[in-house]
Structure 1
Amino acid sequence: MDVLVLIGRILFALLFLGSGFGHLAQRAAMAQYAQFKGIPMPTLAVPASGVLLLAGGLSVLLGVWADLGALLLILFLVPTAFLMHAFWKETDPEAKQAEMVHFNKDIALAGAALMLFAFFAYTGDDLGLTLTGPLFSLS
């Protein structure tokens, strides 16, 4: 089971690591888009969210307080779904559909991150192939 969880962590974290890197490497373009979406202080919000994505993704990937890393990803995903992908505000049917897909993706990923949090916090040190145990305990 340890190897399956490790493979799942790798596949899950890759999305966030790539996105976090993009937030930092393409700051100006992403800040402009965030400003268009009405995000306050986009030039600060974009790199801050990039750091959040990298920290959460690396934590889950490496198994260093992976429960905390999952919470960091939730902290990014839920506000992003509502602030960046507010499909209910769109009037164009195609734009509405695209934003709904992104909204649902972010909410589903937040659900998966919540399950990861619970999994690590409940299992504790019994789960192998991590560098540290969890920071939180649900047992």
Structure 2
Amino acid sequence: MMRSADSLIIFVARVALAVLFLWGGAMKLMGYAGFIGYLQTRGVPYPQLAAPIAIAIELLGSIALVFGIRTRAVGFAMAVYAVVTAVFGHDFWNVTEAAMQQDVAVHFWKNLAIAGGFLLLMVTGAGRLSVDAMRTPRGGLRG
């Protein structure tokens, strides 16, 4: 049985994880051409296709998390996305300058930590304060 405090904490976690990607997706959308250029410099295959997909994942995934819509599936998708962006965007193993390598490594490991948070949401679900809970019979205890 899930306590009310648990659901509140899960809600705060959902919002905390979503804010970063909501902001990032909005910035990518506003600087679309620059984002495509960045993807090209990072060696991302098919940047013209990857850019709208990345923006959609960040914006739609964040909105779904805030409202608790399909949280388990979105949590898994966002975890995969965080790992992929860590590998393509924070490849510290290719950086030769020590200070820069340390900075990029921190961002790489932060992405993996964020992926861990998304995986926890995949396991716990959205909690009672969510659309998912409204769809679940008996008050959404599985959330």
TM-score, normalised by the number of residues in structure 2? 0.83
Report which stretch shifted further, 67-76 or 2-11: 2-11
CA RMSD in angstroms comes to 2.0
Which of 28, 40, 55 is residue 23 of structure 1 equivalent to? Answer: 28
User: Size of the alignment, in residue pairs?
Assistant: 131
Residue identity (%) = 28
Q: Is the 8 A contact 1:56 1:69 kept in 2?
A: yes
**1:22-61 pair list within 5 angstroms:** 22-61=27-66
Give distance in 1, aligned partners of 2:108 and 2:62: 20
Give distance in 2, aligned partners of 1:20 and 1:26: 10
The structure with higher relative contact order (CA 8 Å, sep 6+) is 2
Give distance in 1, aligned partners of 2:99 and 2:39: 20
Deviations 1:20-49 (A, max 9, x none): 112222111111111111111212212210
Give distance in 2, aligned partners of 1:104 and 1:40: 23
Q: Is the 8 A contact 1:28 1:43 kept in 2?
A: no
Which aligned segments of 4 or more residues in structure 1 are displaced greater than 4 angstroms? none
Structure 2 counterpart of 1:86 = 91
Structure 1 counterpart of 2:131 = 131
Larger radius of gyration: 2
Give distance in 1, aligned partners of 2:52 and 2:39: 11
Letter in 2 for 1:8: A
Q: Give the unaligned 5+ runs of structure 1.
A: none
Tell whether 2:7 aligns with 1:6: no
Letter in 2 for 1:16: F
Structure 2 counterpart of 1:63 = 68
TM-score, normalised by the number of residues in structure 1? 0.85
